[in-house]
């Protein structure tokens, strides 16, 4: 059996195993973020096309809930990986074991729609294995970095963690640009398969460095004694209070891969002369991280340090307030969309600048703080508890998106809808007439806003003698709602007429004429025939004339949407930032490294 070094060398140089860890992290993060970047869009726009016949598509709220459920798994499983590595197996071995599961998970995603299992079963099998693999790796790799350092080269640790985070964002940048493009033109099999190949490369890279690493042996019973010792429990409690506030940060930040992607679909995606895909806008975050890390290290932090000492906890506190500001900007943008505007996606760039600055102050600092504060045999466990804050934040986001959904009526839906059909069609005719009679400043027709629409249908009543409700959703979509037989709003009895303006746009049609069909467009045509072709042509502005289509359904609304959804989260973040101030004032730091006992002796 091979023997490995278990304590850092007495040197002031960079540990020799660091390049392998950084290379592994770049490839693994390409794999993970490549899959994650397209996951919400895939569930919302592609999953229902993976069977032999078109299935009902997920709602946006459901797709967001499922995405954040998966993300909560990813950051929950680190506690299992940490306990196994610190107590029984060791960090290196657990990383290798779960990496294999990780690769199998990517394979399952690449096989969706290929038979044997339903597309949904392939999806959740793959996501579970990826969550298990990624979750097992996360606390061990970041703690494994710290294990390579001793007292003489500890001054290099901050620099390495900066490069560690840089590698994360380098891999993320490449995958965020590439996988949406692969999904658009080559479909889900290729888009999910390429990240799987990168995960295999990440596993091989990590294995190649096995003889260069410091392999800290598992703590065994000593680990359990330290976890449940007064020092261990106090460390967990002290950091746990910090992590509770940071969990709200993650509840907002990870919505850049769900809510912000869906918001981008209603924005003008042509920016800097490029037609962006909604999920590609996420590339702004890792690019900005790579730019901002040296900016903060050499400019921002020294500048702030002239006025007061910028401790890790103070950095985190400032980052929480910045996150509230960034999400507040996204709420303002969503308000414009709700009002019928189609703002440039450049506004998301500005919001990304703010929240990326917040990420640098919260995430990088929290990673370094967590390792430094952990007792020697609890490094992976404390890292796992740090990641548990991400899981908790995503769980809360998933729960909110689940709670705001109103179920669809499963029984007698056609009869309920038929009872309100006539009055809803009358209301639609009035709204449509106002649309066709309008002309905005740019000559385009515009839907009435909420107040104007409500006035147009004020005299109409449903079967229970209650007024109808009108809401403009975006520039091209509106909704008419009857409260249904129970006479109560936001219940499964609501009868909903969702209308979409399909614009004949000669300029857009000419621009799209030379553009080949995407994988999704080809799939729609293959499954729906002529109806699918008409849908594709309408999306490309090739409709013979402008029209407003309507779709009647029962139930399925959400109780929190539009700008109100974004303002809700902004308020949560602001409250958490304020609550963090006394916690930071009462928390004392106590850094501990792997060779501290030797140094003390």
Over the stretch 177-192, which tens digit does the pLDDT of each residue have? 999 999 999 999 999 9
Residue 598 has pLDDT above 60, yes or no: no
Nearest to 496 by CA among 474, 473, 475: 473
β-strand pairing of 477-482 with 274-275: unpaired
375 band by pLDDT with thresholds 50, 70 and 90: confident
313 and 400: one domain? yes
209 and 130: one domain? yes
Higher pLDDT: 500 or 241? It is 500
Kindly report the CA angle at 282 between 312 and 200, in degrees rounded to 5?
90
Angstrom distance (rounded) from CA 166 to CA 290: 6
Residue 418's φ and ψ, nearest 5 degrees, are: -65, -35
Kindly report the CA angle at 467 between 461 and 470, in degrees rounded to 5?
115
Structure tokens at 8: 């850092």
Give the number of domains in the chain: 2
Distance, C-alpha 209 to centroid of its chain: 31
**Which residue bears the tokens 């930071």?**
584
Alpha helices in 111-156 (DSSP H): 119-147
Looking at the DSSP bridge assignments, the partners of residue 552 are: 497
420 and 445: one domain? yes
Q: What is the pLDDT of residue 597?
A: 45
209: DSSP letter? T
Lowest mean pLDDT among 35-49, 534-548, 556-570: 534-548
- Inside any domain, residue 303: yes
599 band by pLDDT with thresholds 50, 70 and 90: very low
Structure tokens at 451: 């107040």
- Inside any domain, residue 270: yes
Section 101-121 average pLDDT: 89
Angstrom distance (rounded) from CA 512 to CA 222: 66
- Inside any domain, residue 35: yes
600 band by pLDDT with thresholds 50, 70 and 90: very low
492 and 578: one domain? no
189 and 91: one domain? yes
Q: Report the range out of 52-66, 74-88, 316-330, 490-504 with the highest average pLDDT.
A: 316-330
Looking at the DSSP bridge assignments, the partners of residue 270 are: 275
Higher pLDDT: 415 or 460? It is 460
Nearest to 293 by CA among 164, 153, 145, 386: 164
525 band by pLDDT with thresholds 50, 70 and 90: very high
User: Cα dihedral angle (334, 336, 339, 343), rounded to 10 degrees?
Assistant: -110
158 and 132: one domain? yes
Q: What is the pLDDT of residue 601?
A: 30
- Beta-carbon count within 10 A of 82 CB: 29
360 and 441: one domain? no
The whole-model pTM stands at 0.87
Q: What is the pLDDT of residue 334?
A: 97
Angstrom distance (rounded) from CA 473 to CA 486: 25
Lowest mean pLDDT among 170-174, 388-392, 459-463: 170-174
Residue 573 has pLDDT above 50, yes or no: yes
Q: What is the pLDDT of residue 151?
A: 76
Angstrom distance (rounded) from CA 134 to CA 128: 10
Q: What is the pLDDT of residue 159?
A: 75
276 and 418: one domain? no
Structure tokens at 411: 């029984």
- Inside any domain, residue 5: no
**Which of 326-329's residues contact partners 24+ apart within 8 Å by CB, and which partners?**
326/351, 326/352, 326/353, 326/354, 326/355, 326/358, 327/252, 327/351, 327/355, 327/566, 327/569, 327/570, 327/573, 328/566, 328/567, 328/570, 329/354
**446 is in which domain, residue-wise?**
413-504+546-557
List pLDDT tens digits, range 124-161: 999 999 999 887 787 778 778 878 877 777 777 777 77
List pLDDT tens digits, range 303-317: 998 988 888 899 999
26 and 78: one domain? yes
Q: What is the pLDDT of residue 238?
A: 81
Residue 549 has pLDDT above 60, yes or no: yes
| Helix/strand/coil percentages in the chain, nearest 5 | 70, 5, 25
Beta strands per DSSP E along 304-422: none
Angstrom distance (rounded) from CA 362 to CA 474: 34
Looking at the DSSP bridge assignments, the partners of residue 405 are: 558
440 band by pLDDT with thresholds 50, 70 and 90: low
283 and 379: one domain? yes
156 and 301: one domain? yes
First vs last C-alpha separation in the chain: 32
Q: What is the pLDDT of residue 2?
A: 61
List pLDDT tens digits, range 334-367: 999 999 999 999 999 999 999 999 999 999 888 7
Section 534-542 average pLDDT: 82
- Inside any domain, residue 109: yes
Lowest mean pLDDT among 258-272, 494-508, 570-584: 494-508
Higher pLDDT: 441 or 578? It is 578
Q: What is the pLDDT of residue 591?
A: 54
- Inside any domain, residue 519: no
Looking at the DSSP bridge assignments, the partners of residue 500 are: 477, 549
262 and 153: one domain? yes
Structure tokens at 296: 């903060």
């Amino acid at each position: 059996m091979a023997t490995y070094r278990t304590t850092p060398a007495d040197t002031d140089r960079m540990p020799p195993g660091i390049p392998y860890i950084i290379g592994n992290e770049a490839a693994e993060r390409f794999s993970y973020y490549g899959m994650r970047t397209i996951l919400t869009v895939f569930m919302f726009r592609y999953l229902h096309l993976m069977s032999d016949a078109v299935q009902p598509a997920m709602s946006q709220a459901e797709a967001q809930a499922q995405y954040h459920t998966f993300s909560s798994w990813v950051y929950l499983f680190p506690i299992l990986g940490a306990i196994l590595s610190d107590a029984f197996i060791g960090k290196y071995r657990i990383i290798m074991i779960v990496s294999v599961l990780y690769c199998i998970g990517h394979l399952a995603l690449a096989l969706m729609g290929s038979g044997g299992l339903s597309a949904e079963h392939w999806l959740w099998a793959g996501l579970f294995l990826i969550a298990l693999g990624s979750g097992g790796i996360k606390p061990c790799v970041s703690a494994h970095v710290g294990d390579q350092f001793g007292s003489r080269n500890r001054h290099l640790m901050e620099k390495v963690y900066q490069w560690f985070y840089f590698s994360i964002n380098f891999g993320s940048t490449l995958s965020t640009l590439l996988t949406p493009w692969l999904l658009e033109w080559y479909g889900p099999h290729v888009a999910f398969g390429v990240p799987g190949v990168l995960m295999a490369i990440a596993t091989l890279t990590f294995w190649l460095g096995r003889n260069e690493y410091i392999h800290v042996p598992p703590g065994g019973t000593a680990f359990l004694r330290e976890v449940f010792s007064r020092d261990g429990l106090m460390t967990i409690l002290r950091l746990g209070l910090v992590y509770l506030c940071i969990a709200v940060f993650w509840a907002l930040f990870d919505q850049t891969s769900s809510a912000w992607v869906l918001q981008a679909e209603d924005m003008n995606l042509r920016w800097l002369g490029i037609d962006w895909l909604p999920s590609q806008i996420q590339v702004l975050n890792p690019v900005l991280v790579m730019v901002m890390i040296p900016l903060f290290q050499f400019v921002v932090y020294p500048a702030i340090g002239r006025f007061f000492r910028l401790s890790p906890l103070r950095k985190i506190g400032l980052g929480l307030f910045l996150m509230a500001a960034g999400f507040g900007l996204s709420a303002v943008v969503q308000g414009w969309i709700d009002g019928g505007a189609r703002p440039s996606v450049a506004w998301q760039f500005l919001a990304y600048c703010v929240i990326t600055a917040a990420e640098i102050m919260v995430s990088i600092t929290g990673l370094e703080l967590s390792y430094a504060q952990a007792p020697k045999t609890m490094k992976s466990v404390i890292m796992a508890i740090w990641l548990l804050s991400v899981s908790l934040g995503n769980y809360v986001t998933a729960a909110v998106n689940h709670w705001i959904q109103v179920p669809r009526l499963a029984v007698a839906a056609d009869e309920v809808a038929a009872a309100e059909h006539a009055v809803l069609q009358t209301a639609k005719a009035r709204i449509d007439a106002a649309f066709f009679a309008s002309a905005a400043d740019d000559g385009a027709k515009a839907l009435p806003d909420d107040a104007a629409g409500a006035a147009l249908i004020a005299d109409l009543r449903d079967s229970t003698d209650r007024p109808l409700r009108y809401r403009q959703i975006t520039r091209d979509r509106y909704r008419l709602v009857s409260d249904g037989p129970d006479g109560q709003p936001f219940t499964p009895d609501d009868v909903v007429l969702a209308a979409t303006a399909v614009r004949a746009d000669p300029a857009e049609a000419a621009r799209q004429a030379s553009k080949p069909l995407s994988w999704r467009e080809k799939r729609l045509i293959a499954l729906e025939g002529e109806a699918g072709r008409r849908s594709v042509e309408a999306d490309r502005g090739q409709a013979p004339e402008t029209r407003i289509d309507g779709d009647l359904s029962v139930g399925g609304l959400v109780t929190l949407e539009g700008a109100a959804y974004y303002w809700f989260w902004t308020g949560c973040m602001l409250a958490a930032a304020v609550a963090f101030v006394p916690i930071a004032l009462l928390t004392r730091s106590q850094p501990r490294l792997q060779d501290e006992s030797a140094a003390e002796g």
